[in-house]
Chains A and B, each alone.
Chain A
Amino acid sequence: MSFESQADDIEHDVFSGEPFFSRPGGKIFIIWLILTAVGVLIGFYAPHHLLPSLDASTGTDVFRTIVFFTVLAAPVAGFVYAVAAYSLIAWRHTGDQDEPPPDGPAVRGNGPMTVLWLVVSTLLVIVLLVWGLAVWSAQQVTHPNTLQVNVTGQQWFWTFSYPGTNIETRSLVLPLNRPVEFNVTSVDVTHGFWPVNMGNQVDANPGEVTVLRTTPNRMGHFEVRCSQLCGLYHSFMYASGSVVTPSQFSRWLRSQGASATSANQIARVSTS
């Protein structure tokens, strides 16, 4: 018997007169629907409960990406799991386990199924890619009115400074809804500047300045951690920060020693 005719047999089997839901395909379809629904629920539920509070535009991007990708992946994972589960329910050899079961059908492939699989996975990849590129390029835009902050990593602490002032501080304060550019560098080894609740990061490389852009969009406290192993006390290389209103930011700048004029200028609050 040629492979083609056997494949036809299988197809004939699939499209036989039996009601859809009592055929293997129908049963797998039901399992697939259930598993996909579970996956989609996980996609909506888990990130919301597991991620820390995300306080910036880039954090919102991360959140949406995780939800979107999980929802996209759910039907694919659900399909593989559904076939695997069904094969154990329906096709398992239940007799004497010391003897092999009779041979299965000599199906060596299925052209249409393979093509369908390739087309679907290619489409999914295109969706992933378009999503990723759109989000990424939007993050790269330099806004006018951007606050510049210099970040320096060294073993094992972070120093933040605000150009235009003499302020050097160990805790980061940012104004709400104002685009910010971190100019990140290191004086010794490679560190990872990771303001966790902003949802993005960039390495601090010795001898290079790398740029990280975001816009804080929620008031509150946030954490900065080091994401590259940097030696003995890597675990203790963290800092904290907060997102405040522009006028609070201006007051904080002055409390750190900036002149009233430069504080207002940097914080973009009117002097009145």
Chain B
Amino acid sequence: MEDSPIGPRAGGLYRRQNFVTALGFGIVLGFIGWLVSHQLLQGSNWGSDMVVTVTMVAWVVGFNIGMGTFNAPIRWALGHDPSHEDELYAAGVGQGSSRYWKFCTDHKVVGTQYLVLVMVLFGVGGTLAMMIRTQLITPHSSFLDPQTYNAIVTIHGMCMIIATIIMVSGPFTNFVVPIMIGAKDMAFPRLNAMSFWVVVSAVPCLLSTFFLGGVNAGWTTYAPLSVQAPPAMDAFAITIITFVVSVTVAGINTIVTVITMRAKGMTMGRLPIFVWGSVIGGALGLYAMPAFLMAMTGMITDRVTGTSFFVPQVGGSAWLWENVFWIMGHPEVYVILLPPVAALLEVASTFSRKPVFGYKVLVAGMVAIASLSIMVWAHHMFTTGWAPDLAGPFMLTTELISIPTGIIFLCVIGTIWKGSIWTRLPMYFVYLFLWNFIIGGVTGIYLSDVPADQFFHGDMFVTAHFHYTLLGGAMIGATAALCYWFPKVTARMLNERIGKVAFWMIAIGIQITYFGQFWEGFQGMPRRVAYYDPIFLRANQMSTAGAYLLMLGWIVLLYAMIHSIRHGKRAPANPWYSKTLEWHVPTPVPMENFLVDPVVTSDPYTYGEPEPEEPSRPEPELVPVGTSEQSGTGGDV
């Protein structure tokens, strides 16, 4: 910390707050919440559901007080504006790596924090998946008892849903999008830090469910089973509500940033496609997530205060839960999918040395996917008996969505077409995406067809289908993004030799695991069963073998990352010779990204086009994006 630009008292309370104080405040407030509710409710019939709810809310609030989430609003309310030095402190100036444990407003720090959190969540969710697959090696395994098994199935699902929603919009949208559009930070840096620490505070709530009886209803938590579930369900609902706050805040932040913070010359038509993917995904999240919050709030009041939104025996409706849940649940898969797909197109363009094919069609396609996806939710309910007359219309909207999804395929293969394919590691994942997502898409059309869905619903075929799309499609897109932006985020090159070993293990592991599950599904094995008929034995063993290989592949990839961070070659500013702005700032990226405000004169896909002539520029200091001598913005290799 060579002569710090800020005084020793700058930052105020932030100086004393970090992850440890947050844990301390959270635990203390949670304990107080538990004590008070426990004492007050002794002998009442409200019982442990109320206690768990109050404790979890107190933990979340306490954690965020301890972290400093509420510092600035409270100071403003008291009439004290934070000084410029306070802001610099909050952005992490002069704090070295300890800023990663603090309420840090620098978008690059937040992005990196998200990346670590996402990997932790994938670690937890993946371990639970391995426990499920281990249980299913034999038809009547005694590895897990059915209650634990159901709890694990639920938390595997929700852990992965949370992780995949934030896997690209957390790390890469935060780290890359502001730089891509030529901004110094996000529009609301404090909300950005808040969105991260709020989701951190939700994770212990999710894991606490294992110690509160376990949620036995699957991640869809269909009522009325979930209304009768152990108190773990209250912690589960608080997790979701907290998570929705985080996603909403992050989505608004992304949208406002892109609308208001673009550099001079960065018109909407020049935005890199990843920016579009992040904005459309974020906007769709704003539509989808409130329904989840509403559903879970109703769930808590049903369980704690005796309302009956979802309990048919006392005037509620199970179908109401299913509707509200899937009004969130189907747009949500596109919230997961769109950012990674957009990142994948950046990768395809860079490594084919060609412009993104059909830029406008692609943006229109993503908007069409987002619009249609809010009208397809009841295809999850074809077999529930709800509104049979609507089966036809929902079959129509569901099948229509394959037209804009087809555009994504067209644009990926159009980008590759006649390109100079540079097969570095990120490009491998583009091909794996094409392979997997076709399989996920084709199996999706069986499920969109009502008569065929009547066979496949609730069956392992569905499980295999959505793992092919969400793991084989979205998560592979996110992995391409990880390998692509790794040098920019960590300032080290990713070891591609180890990375390619991981790639092949992951690629083959996915095929074995989920072809095994397609086989189970064709044979008629229901989802979420702890025990099964021996006729499904071979298919299950195949799936489990593939799952171990897949998990091992991810571990090898993690090893490649850690190895590269510790021993890897230092990354040049632009190792891929890419043309988007984030590659034209120095690595590591300095505070506020740009030493000189960039001025943009073209979109970043000028591959194969002649360099613009130097003298034609009106002002000498304005340099077009995409040339390699951006004076002042740092070295380019």
Interface residues of A (CB under 8 A from B): 1, 10, 24, 46-47, 50-52, 58-59, 61-62, 65-66, 69-70, 73, 76-77, 80-81, 83-84, 87-88, 91-93, 97, 100-110, 113-114, 117-118, 121-122, 124-125, 128-129, 131-133, 135-137, 139-140, 184, 188-190, 192, 194, 196-197, 199-203, 205-208, 210-211, 223, 225-236
Contact = CB atoms under 8 A, between A and B. Distances in A.
Contact of A132 (B361, B395, B407, B524): B395
Contact of B224 (A52, A80, A100, A190): A190
B291 interface: no
Interface in B500-558: 519, 522-524, 526-533
Contact of A227 (B357, B423, B459, B519): B459
Contacts of A101: 353, 420-422
A47 B395 CA distance: 22
Interface string B586-610: 0000000000000000000111111
B266 interface: no
A11 B407 CA distance: 21
B222 A229 contact: yes
Contact of A104 (B218, B402, B607): B607
A66 B450 CA distance: 12
Interface stretch (B57-65, B296-304, B409-417): B409-417
Given A50-B522, A77-B442, A117-B406, A58 B454 contact: yes
Given A80-B438, A84-B413, A189-B228, 15 more contacts: A62-B451, A66-B446, A81-B434, A92-B421, A102-B353, A107-B355, A107-B418, A113-B414, A114-B410, A132-B449, A137-B392, A190-B225, A208-B319, A226-B526, A232-B147
Q: Across the A-B interface, give the 6 residue pairs with the lowest CB-CB distance, nearest first.
A: A210-B385, A227-B458, A106-B608, A101-B420, A50-B522, A207-B312
Contacts of B410: 113-114, 117
A6 to B, nearest CB: 8
Given A66-B452, A97-B424, A100-B422, A231 B608 contact: no
Contacts of A229: 150, 153, 216-218, 222, 225, 527-528
A114 B421 CA distance: 22
B290 interface: no
16 contacts: A58-B451, A91-B416, A91-B418, A105-B608, A108-B359, A109-B414, A125-B403, A129-B395, A135-B451, A190-B223, A199-B454, A201-B458, A202-B454, A228-B222, A232-B147, A235-B532
B352 interface: yes
Interface of B: 146-147, 150, 153, 216-218, 222-225, 228, 312-313, 318-319, 352-361, 383-385, 388, 391-392, 395-396, 399-400, 402-403, 406-407, 409-410, 413-414, 416-424, 431, 434-435, 438-439, 442, 445-446, 448-452, 454-455, 457-459, 519, 522-524, 526-533, 576-577, 605-610
A145 B357 CA distance: 59
Given A62-B451, A66-B452, A202-B385, A192 B457 contact: yes
Nearest to B413: A83
B458 A192 contact: yes
Nearest to B410: A117
A236 B418 contact: no
Given A62-B454, A210-B385, A106 B607 contact: yes
Given A104-B353, A121-B403, A189-B225, A109 B361 contact: yes
Contact of A65 (B318, B439, B449): B449
A122 B459 CA distance: 29
Nearest to A115: B361
B528 A234 contact: yes
A107 B358 CA distance: 9
A121 B406 contact: yes
Contact of A206 (B312, B355, B361, B383): B312
Contacts of A137: 392
B418 to A, nearest CB: 6
A49 to B, nearest CB: 9
Contacts of B607: 103-104, 106
A80 B418 CA distance: 14
Contacts of B358: 108-110, 114
A232 B216 contact: yes
B435 A81 contact: yes
Contacts of B529: 234-235
Contacts of B224: 188-190, 206
B399 A129 contact: yes
A201 B458 CA distance: 10
B458 A194 contact: yes
